[in-house]
């Protein structure tokens, strides 16, 4: 199992759909990134992840809610943003981390 599939499986495991007869809130997926919202590298993670969710039947606003927080390249903001997301009580949290450059 590749890294992407593993991450997707972890995220999807926490997202259980409510049964047909019940009116419940949509499962909440929280995404935390140290990058800025406009970072080009974010597209390499965010787009394939959301496409994979769609293949599994998760459509934002219909079967799942997605909340994203970005630290805008200021890692000192990450703890406060993480606490903000945890307070929302998401079904699953997806932290995105930066790849460290190899020396």
The string of pLDDT tens digits covering residues 21-64 is 555 789 999 999 898 888 766 666 677 888 888 899 998 889 99
The string of pLDDT tens digits covering residues 52-100 is 888 999 988 899 999 999 999 899 999 999 999 999 999 999 898 776 6
CB-based burial, 82-94: b 16+ in 10 Å, e otherwise: beebeeeebbbbb
- Among the listed residues 35, 24, 28, the one whose alpha carbon sits nearest the alpha carbon of residue 66: 28
């Amino acid at each position: 199992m590749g890294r992407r599939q593993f991450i997707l499986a972890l995220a999807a495991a926490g997202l259980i759909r409510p049964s047909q007869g019940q009116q419940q809130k949509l499962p909440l997926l929280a995404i935390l990134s140290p990058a800025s919202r406009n970072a080009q590298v974010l597209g390499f993670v965010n787009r394939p992840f959301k496409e994979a969710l769609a293949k599994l039947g998760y459509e934002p606003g219909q079967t799942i809610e997605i909340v994203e927080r970005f630290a805008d390249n200021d890692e000192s903001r990450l703890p406060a943003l993480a606490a903000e997301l945890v307070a929302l009580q998401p079904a699953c949290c997806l932290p995105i981390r930066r790849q460290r450059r190899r020396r």
